[in-house]
Amino acid sequence: MRQPTLAAALALSLALACQADSLSLVTGNDYAPFADSKLPNGGLAAEVAVKAFAESKTEVKLDWSPWARGYEEAKSGRYAATFPYVKSAEREKDFIYSAPIYEIQQRAFAKPGSKFDFGHVASLAGSTVCVPLGWAPSASLLPLIKSGQIKKSEPKDISTCAQMVAAGRADYFVTDQFQGRTAIKGANLPADALTASSVVLESETLHLIAGRATPQGRSVIAAFDKGLETLRKNGGYDRIVAAHTR
């Protein structure tokens, strides 16, 4: 018998992965400008995900869930994929990653006049970082978190982190400039209540991820990557980014 072509195999795999004629994806709120049900088209990453799959002729159904729950349900195969997530060694044990959706620069947000030297991570020993439940800690801080030299608070969302830092119940949180400003606003704090570090702790990329235990997970990622490539070539990607970051 002849082996099926790659295109045919991909189409068959996607058909098997689809439920109720659509691919089920999950993401969460309070991660502007990338994902929030209140944002236009659900945010930058949500719009990219839906339109990239559309370029691959794949209809998707997008659900909104608390981050930790959506993550676990994507890991178990309840959802075909979730987004947007940065890479981490722990996460890569359980998930397959797409091509990058967007590159972000991670900075620490602390009170103005903070004495922390974010250019020298070792000097942060004894501090408390706020990391929303379900988020991966900054890779540069992870060794000190694991050793207990940096304590970690895990509230439900990033706006709560902003409140905790402003109230002195945590020393800083780490995210990109867009999300940091949105978190401060969402916490009903003055725009200058917290400031971003001049130091970039690291540059990271956001991805769509599918559980390694998910049937046809690799085919789901392949379809997304193919659609994302098309979206970049036809200018659709740049238009989406511009609409959400201006």
Q: Each residue of 2-54: pLDDT tens digit?
A: 343 444 444 434 444 444 458 999 999 988 899 999 999 999 999 999 999 99
Residue type at position 227:
G
The per-residue pLDDT for range 231-245, each reduced to its tens digit, is: 999 999 999 999 998
Neighbouring CB atoms inside 10 A of 202's CB total 14
| DSSP secondary structure code for residue 215 in this structure | T
Contact indicator for 211, 91 with CB cutoff of 8 Å: no
> What does each C-alpha distance from 155 to 110, 147, 186, 220 come to in angstroms?
16, 21, 14, 32
Neighbouring CB atoms inside 10 A of 134's CB total 17
Q: What is the pLDDT of residue 2?
A: 33
Contact indicator for 197, 133 with CB cutoff of 8 Å: no
The per-residue pLDDT for range 143-168, each reduced to its tens digit, is: 999 999 999 999 999 999 999 999 99
Q: How many residues does the chain have?
A: 246
Q: What is the pLDDT of residue 161?
A: 97
DSSP conformation letters of 12-38: HHHHHH-BTTBEEEEE-SSBTTTB-TT
Q: What is the pLDDT of residue 30?
A: 84
